[in-house]
Amino acid sequence: MRMKVGSLLTAVTLGLLLSGLAAAEERTVSARLDAVIDQALADKRVVGAVVLVARDGKVIYHRAAGEADREAHTPMREDAVFRFASMSKPLVSAAALALVDQGKLGLEDPVTRWLPDFRPRLADGREAVITVRQLLTHTAGLSYGFLEPEDGPYHRAGVSDGMDAPGLGLEENLRRIASAPLLYEPGTRWGYSVAIDVLGAVVARAGGAPLPKVVERLVTRPLGLRDTGFTAKDPKRLATPYADGKPEPVRMGELHVVPWGASGVRFVPGRVLNTRSFPSGGAGMVGTAGDFLKFLEAVRTGGTPVLKPTTAALATTGQIGTLDMPANPGWTFGFGGSVLVDATKAATPQSVGTWQWGGAYGHSWFVDPKQRLSVVALTNTAFEGMSGAFPAAIRDAVYAGLVEKDAAQAPTGTTPAR
């Protein structure tokens, strides 16, 4: 009996200790994140934000701050629905990989197996074979309109980057993409592109239904992502989008061009409310921060119920070999996001193996498997929330908080591990 009582006391003591450590971790991370968010709002760099941090599967920080609609004085809420932009890519990539798990799609399948008329040619007129793997990894030779000058081939062909051209159909956009020359022989370079829009068409054919239905069946419904899809179920909860500006961000109109790349990114916020717009696999989804965190955590912990563990591992490891990602030193690309291979070159506190990406409407996210950490930071301000000072400050605040917590708990005379 004494042993049982002793064991019980030990278990209770351990539980209280672990609870105290978790509370300390939350306090240190929360204080630093609150300061970053408050400063961004005070500086009028972002209008509103929802930030979630999970460690070991537990949410240790959650906050909605600022305004979802500045002019209407609508406060931001944690269940606000955001236009995901490129956060659509990992969700659609997961649907493709789920079809691979089911044996309905092959990574080395030529795209023409599923889209017989999609046959873009190289600049010299030669036809090139593009595979599903090359679409997933952005090594297919395709491009984005915003990366080209105004007189570039995608602009001349009227290609949509997936956030503009409301009412444009999928077949027509595929035709326009295929009419422009490939930038390089598929598989020989990495280049960010409309590849996931093309992949979305492949997923629809292989999945036997329109892309929104396939993604719902394979990804969002199994995970219980009730607010994530290609249309906003409750438009009143959509966060109003803004663009960087001085002295404060500018509310986006129905066609708003934000300088980026060679010709700027074209935003048409009302596109997500136009049911005739093609479902852009690369930029067309909407959802909440909480939904996206569920998705990241599912992949981080092995993929269930969407992917097999081996497939989830593939999605979060480098898939482009020695190919470089221009302007991304220290990173390579997996299926759906970039993967950290050299933290020193990348100048980041994240662990090697971290995977991340973002969204042009003002979003960033990352998963650090070594630290068992997932972070989602969604804003309604482009591009500050994606590539301005905000996402780096959020990242640094999380790691500084963890280091501070470890230092406080370390025995005297020791150095906390990083």
Tokens representing 370 are: 């070594």
Q: Exposed/middle/buried for 308, CB within 10 Å: 0-12, 13-18, 19+? A: middle
Element (H, E) at 416: none
Amino acid at 408: A
DSSP 47: S
* Number of Cβ atoms within 10 Å of the Cβ of 251: 17
Tokens representing 100 are: 């691979």
> Does the active-site annotation cover 88?
no
Tokens representing 237 are: 């909860």
Element (H, E) at 197: helix 195-207
Pick the catalytic residue: 86, 143, 280, 338? 86
CA distances 349 to 126, 139, 409, Å, are: 45, 28, 20
Amino acid at 311: T
Dihedral angle computed from the Cα positions of residues 138, 139, 142 and 146, in that order, rounded to the nearest 10 degrees:
50
Amino acid at 256: H
In terms of DSSP bridges, do strands 381-382 and 242-243 run parallel, antiparallel, or are they unpaired?
A: parallel
> What are the residue numbers of the active site?
86
